[in-house]
Amino acid sequence: MPATRTLTSRRAALAATGAAAAAGLLAACSDSTAPDADRGAAERARAARAEAALRLRTSAASAALRDRYQAVSVRHPLVRDRLAPLREEAAQHATALAAGHAQQPSAPSSALPAAVPDDPSEALRELAATARQVSDAHTAALTGAPPELARLLASVAAAGAVHAYLLTRREGGS
Domains along the chain? Answer: 38-168 (1.20.1260)
The average pLDDT across 130-138 equals 97
What are the angstrom distances between the C-alpha of 92 and each of 6, 71, 130? 80, 17, 17
What per-residue confidence (pLDDT) applies to 118?
A: 94
Please name the residues in contact with 65: beta carbons below 8 A apart, sequence gap of 6 or more. Answer: 90, 93, 130, 131, 134, 160
What per-residue confidence (pLDDT) applies to 79?
A: 96
Q: Which residue has the higher pLDDT, 46 or 18?
A: 46
Please name the residues in contact with 147: beta carbons below 8 A apart, sequence gap of 6 or more. Answer: none
CB 158 within 8 A of CB 132: no
What per-residue confidence (pLDDT) applies to 95?
A: 97
Residue-wise pLDDT for 36-89, tens only, equals 677 888 898 999 999 999 999 999 999 999 999 999 999 999 999 999 999 999
**Model pTM score:** 0.71
